[in-house]
Structure 1
Amino acid sequence: MFGVTAAQCDWFNLELKPLLAHNMAGKSIPSFQAADLVFQLLSSSTRETTADVSTFGTCFTDHMLTIEWSVTEGWQPPLIKPFENLSLHPACSSLHYGIQLFEGLKAYRGDDNRLRIFRPMLNMQRMANSAKRACLPAFDQSELLECIRRLVEIEQDWVPHSNQGSLYIRPTFISTEPTLGLKTPTRALLYVILSPGRPYFANGGKDVSLWADPKYTRAWIGGTGDCKMGGNYGGSMFAQYEAVHYGCEQVLWLYGEDHKITEAGTMNIFLHWINEDGEEELSTPPLDGLILPGVTRQSILDITRKWDEFKVTERYLTMAQFCSALKQQRVKELFGSGTACMICPVGLILYQGENLHIPNQEKSSLLTTRLTKELEDIQYGRTASDWTLLV
């Protein structure tokens, strides 16, 4: 069950390791190695693979991956062990100063009963970028992915037998520096936990409503908006609370005096519309440091550019432009995208005291419907694609 096939070895050794074994300067990255994995597994009689997964992120599998690092000893061998609480020093700098980051990706059980992880190298690259920004140690991305693949393989019975379910993979990287002094970490812990579940939003696939108010800002130029760090999310909760107070489900994050549209809740955002020049266009904000480089975002751009049926751009749009297009009936769809939710249509925006209703076309003609099907066909193995890693 825990073996590696010849095809997987070829993929790992011939494709990933040559691509990622060096940093930008061309030097090897001191890293843990998947070949050094240590296993401390529960016996089959003590394992549990049935749980209530109705609420996202509340149920976890039997095992986790942990990898420790220190400046004096470097990376320790990766360990897959029973899921358990962490033991941290009370002065741990990840708790006091937010020196931490995380990732989110998914494994799917295909119609052929095989498990596939969707575009995991994009997550590894983003995690490495976040680690650099947080002054946490570098690692070989391909080695981490192989460790994750082995963990998912061990926990494969937890992957739902459902086209509505998946196994959410949460790599996390924290400083374990035991001091109140703010300094570059000399100790750190990288760990991975798994959570089976259903779609993130429990709204039955209905359109979400957004509250747009420029008094709150998710990210700013020169900040860490393009990194997947916990502070970006914890700092958004008060605005989310206010959105609910006004009867909306999520926040539409605006930036600058011209109220640029940036993200929606924890999602990237897309506008499908007829632009000022009369062209059909799919637009999303550019990756200039404010925007998280989402994997689903990139996949939507890749798919629609391959279609070559309409203009696809990465540019900012302001609320003034959006309101004008809405009044002139040039808006086709507005939707969010992300790993947890995948694609989520927006039905209403509350902006400056006015409810802006987004038009709904026939479901069969919606771009969101078409994109969802194409992505799910890849994720569940109905369409062959090099975007998935077989477990």
Structure 2
Amino acid sequence: MAAAMRSRCPGSGALLATLLGPRRGCSSFRASQLEVERSRSPRPKPDPQGLQFGRVFTDHMLSVEWSRAGGWGRPRIRPFQDLRLHPACSALHYAVELFEGMKAFRGADDKIRLFRPELNMQRMERSAQRVCLPAFDGAELLECIRALVRLEQEWVPPGPRASLYIRPTFIGTEPSLGVAPPGQALLFVILCPVGPYFPGGHFSPVGLLADPSHTRAWPGGAGHCKLGGNYGPTIALQRAAQARGCQQVLWLHGPERLLTEVGTMNLFVFWHREDGELELVTPPWTADPARGDAAESAGAGAGVGEFGVREGPLPMGTVLAALAQGRLREMFGSGTACVVCPVGGILYEEKWYPVPTMEHGPELAQRFLRVLSDIQYGHVPSEWAQPL
């Protein structure tokens, strides 16, 4: 879920691996070679109650350089500083870049934990392969990130709504124009203390604009990778949503107008099936209806306690019918930045469809938030929450 937040339409991974062949530069930097330069002018920590998402950064950053000629250099932690890039670098011209989103949480026991970070490393490696950035060992990067967070542990804010956001980034820095794998690259990690993602607070319902003329990810594309090129084209529709009184976009795909994501969050629908049974449904990894049918039949018997759980397709027509018949109880998104976000309504084809999420507690969305928070802040032991 949130720690490996993904678009729902992955490309053909096996075919892509075949086309690309063996990963070049299979050697990696090593955490044991990490060099640390401490800042001589540490800054005061911000008030945890007034944190805005992504506005304040810590005193240090991690960086590792790579070149085709010399391979990986030593990883370095150094004072936070601007980057120097050639005007022709491939990240600026051809979007040869990627990033990740992770969090560190300070528990009531004052211990700091990372939430499922190995999944972020796996996706980062996958994203690097997709845009022909050099291979690296995700386990080694994770150890370097742990060292950075330990150094900056005073920046991890206390409280149940605050955390330290971790942004690993990998860019091509080849100083040459031309669509080709870069001969130079830079991997860096920055940190920022954050509060609730949405201005309305930690658990405020959002309205969604569903516009079938726009698609965020599709079969055969790169939606399974966290690339900047997946995000820039979504900003215009996000602005259109806000201009129409909505806070997020509900992304649709294909002739069936399948629901795929809420903004960049995984989507969940909690409803009564036509036979009356309660069920939680989340869209499949791909918007391919054929695969969705397979997932539906395979997952029909899965359940958690008092309701079934299924990964399967969610056509807009089916969702609207469930709303009209009073069968849809809750709809919510879940992602690294927002954790859990309830949906209060959908604007679709010039009509507003209220979603009764908040009218039903919302029991399940709050349960999601409580369970995730208990794990992330160490109230409940779990292998998903890894202490530094």
Name the residue aligned to 2:66: 69
Q: Which moved more, 1:177-186 or 1:85-94?
A: 177-186
Contact 2:251/2:263, CA 8 A, preserved across alignment: yes
Name the residue aligned to 1:227: 225
Query: What amino acid is aligned across from residue 387 of structure 1 in structure 2?
Result: W
Equivalent of 1:329 in 302, 326, 329: 326
Deviation for aligned residue 1:289: 7.4
Deviation for aligned residue 1:288: 2.2
Equivalent of 1:212 in 210, 213, 217: 210
The answer as to 2:160 corresponding to 1:172 is no
Deviation for aligned residue 1:277: 3.7
Deviation for aligned residue 1:170: 0.2
Contact 1:270/1:335, CA 8 A, preserved across alignment: yes
User: Taking structure 1 as the reference length, what is the TM-score of the superposition?
Assistant: 0.86
Name the residue aligned to 1:90: 87
1:182-193 equivalences under 5 Å are 182-193=179-190
How many percent of aligned residue pairs carry the same amino acid?
52
Name the residue aligned to 1:119: 116
The 3-state SS of whatever aligns with 1:170 is strand
Deviation for aligned residue 1:323: 0.5
Name the residue aligned to 1:8: none
Equivalent of 1:50 in 23, 45, 50: 45
Deviation for aligned residue 1:137: 1.0
Name the residue aligned to 1:295: none
Give distance in 1, aligned partners of 2:23 and 2:209: 46
Contact 2:330/2:360, CA 8 A, preserved across alignment: no
Give distance in 2, aligned partners of 1:379 and 1:341: 13
Contact 2:100/2:124, CA 8 A, preserved across alignment: yes
Give distance in 2, aligned partners of 1:97 and 1:203: 36
Query: What amino acid is aligned across from residue 63 of structure 1 in structure 2?
Result: H
Judged with a 3 Å threshold, the aligned counterparts in structure 2 of structure 1 residues 360 and 184 are, in CA distance, closer, same or farther, namely closer
Judged with a 3 Å threshold, the aligned counterparts in structure 2 of structure 1 residues 25 and 97 are, in CA distance, closer, same or farther, namely closer
The 3-state SS of whatever aligns with 2:231 is helix
1:299-318 equivalences under 5 Å are 307-318=304-315
Contact 1:224/1:289, CA 8 A, preserved across alignment: no
Give distance in 2, aligned partners of 1:283 and 1:388: 25
The answer as to 2:102 corresponding to 1:105 is yes
Q: How many residues align?
A: 352
Q: Which moved more, 1:68-77 or 1:51-60?
A: 51-60
Equivalent of 1:270 in 259, 268, 271: 268
Judged with a 3 Å threshold, the aligned counterparts in structure 2 of structure 1 residues 363 and 151 are, in CA distance, closer, same or farther, namely farther
Query: What amino acid is aligned across from residue 214 of structure 2 in structure 1?
Result: Y
Contact 2:260/2:287, CA 8 A, preserved across alignment: no
Query: What amino acid is aligned across from residue 236 of structure 2 in structure 1?
Result: F
Deviations 1:288-318 (A, max 9, x none): 279xxxxxxxxxxxxxx78343221111111
The answer as to 2:257 corresponding to 1:259 is yes
Contact 1:226/1:289, CA 8 A, preserved across alignment: no
Give distance in 2, aligned partners of 1:26 and 1:154: 33
Give distance in 2, aligned partners of 1:118 and 1:306: 24
Deviation for aligned residue 1:164: 1.1
Query: What amino acid is aligned across from residue 135 of structure 1 in structure 2?
Result: C
Name the residue aligned to 2:294: none
Query: What amino acid is aligned across from residue 269 of structure 1 in structure 2?
Result: L
Deviation for aligned residue 1:276: 3.3
Q: Which runs of 5+ in 1 are unaligned?
A: 1-23, 291-304
Deviation for aligned residue 1:353: 1.4
Give distance in 1, aligned partners of 2:45 and 2:234: 33
**Greater relative contact order (CA < 8 Å, ≥ 6 in sequence):** 2
Give distance in 2, aligned partners of 1:354 and 1:284: 24
Name the residue aligned to 2:28: 31
Name the residue aligned to 1:301: none
Give distance in 1, aligned partners of 2:263 and 2:387: 31
Deviations 1:304-347 (A, max 9, x none): x7834322111111110000000111101000110000000000
The 3-state SS of whatever aligns with 1:48 is coil
Give distance in 2, aligned partners of 1:217 and 1:224: 12
Contact 2:88/2:177, CA 8 A, preserved across alignment: yes
Name the residue aligned to 1:196: 193
Deviation for aligned residue 1:361: 5.2
The 3-state SS of whatever aligns with 1:273 is strand
Give distance in 2, aligned partners of 1:228 and 1:165: 24
Q: Which moved more, 1:25-34 or 1:280-289?
A: 25-34
Judged with a 3 Å threshold, the aligned counterparts in structure 2 of structure 1 residues 249 and 39 are, in CA distance, closer, same or farther, namely same
Name the residue aligned to 1:288: 286
Deviation for aligned residue 1:279: 2.5
Deviation for aligned residue 1:247: 1.3
User: Taking structure 2 as the reference length, what is the TM-score of the superposition?
Assistant: 0.87
Contact 2:23/2:135, CA 8 A, preserved across alignment: no
Judged with a 3 Å threshold, the aligned counterparts in structure 2 of structure 1 residues 153 and 313 are, in CA distance, closer, same or farther, namely same
Judged with a 3 Å threshold, the aligned counterparts in structure 2 of structure 1 residues 257 and 306 are, in CA distance, closer, same or farther, namely closer
Query: What amino acid is aligned across from residue 221 of structure 2 in structure 1?
Result: G
Give distance in 2, aligned partners of 1:289 and 1:130: 20
Judged with a 3 Å threshold, the aligned counterparts in structure 2 of structure 1 residues 176 and 28 are, in CA distance, closer, same or farther, namely closer
Deviations 1:174-209 (A, max 9, x none): 001111111111111110000001011111222000
Query: What amino acid is aligned across from residue 64 of structure 1 in structure 2?
Result: M
Contact 1:223/1:289, CA 8 A, preserved across alignment: no
